[in-house]
């Protein structure tokens, strides 16, 4: 079990620390944007994506309805998939930003962005798909490389390797 944890947490370091810093800055900014701008709105904030105010009974009801419209398995469990999408964007975005459980967060973000691209944005043109595609590419990169030197995963991995 410890070896699995080590494999999941230990990041692949770049040759120069400056490269890790650059990727860390990109990871941090993107994770914060994903959490605040995309994820938080799905957790029941009193407005819709178009900025319209909602009353308390309508709060967060729009997202499961959107998910149910995808059909298939999404129509069977729209609340579950809506919460998973919101969780992976909001909490996964924060984990990604701070380099904590980076590979797990990246996997959840990757799955969510694939659903967003193919189930929600497909057919609306490339420009509409671009935010989800950008987060997908970032998640794929971080799924492979991990947090780099500038993330909590690196600190945890150093502590695990010492013991």
**What is the reported pTM?**
0.84
- Give, as one character, the DSSP assignment of residue 53: B
DSSP string, 55-122: -TTTTTTHHHHHHHTT-THHHHSHHHHHHHHHHHHHHHHHHHHHTSSHHHHHHHHHHHHHHIIIIIIT
Q: What is the pLDDT of residue 7?
A: 80
Domain assignments of the chain as residue spans, ordered by start: 2-162
Question: Of the ranges 30-39, 48-57, 65-74, 96-105, which is most confident?
Answer: 96-105
Q: Among 36-50, 84-98, 99-113, 143-157, where is mean pLDDT lowest?
A: 36-50
Q: Per the structure block, which two tokens stand in for 83? A: 């919460």
Mean pLDDT of the chain: 87
Which run of H or of E encompasses 11? none
The whole-number pLDDT of residue 110 equals: 97
């Amino acid at each position: 079990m410890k070896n699995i944890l080590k494999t999941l947490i230990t990041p692949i370091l770049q040759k120069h620390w400056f490269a890790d810093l650059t990727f860390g800055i990109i990871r941090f900014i993107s994770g914060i944007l994903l959490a605040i701008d995309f994820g938080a709105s799905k957790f029941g904030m009193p407005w819709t994506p178009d900025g319209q105010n909602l009353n308390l009974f309508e709060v967060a009801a729009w997202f499961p309805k959107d998910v149910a419209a995808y059909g298939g398995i999404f129509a069977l469990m729209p609340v579950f998939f809506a919460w998973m999408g919101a969780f992976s964007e909001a909490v996964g975005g924060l984990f990604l930003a701070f380099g904590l459980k980076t590979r797990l967060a990246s996997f959840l973000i990757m799955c969510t962005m694939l659903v967003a691209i193919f189930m929600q944005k497909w057919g609306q043109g490339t420009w509409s798909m671009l935010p989800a595609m950008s987060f997908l590419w970032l998640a794929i990169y971080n799924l492979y490389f991990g947090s780099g030197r500038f993330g909590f995963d690196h600190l945890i991995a150093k502590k695990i390797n010492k013991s």
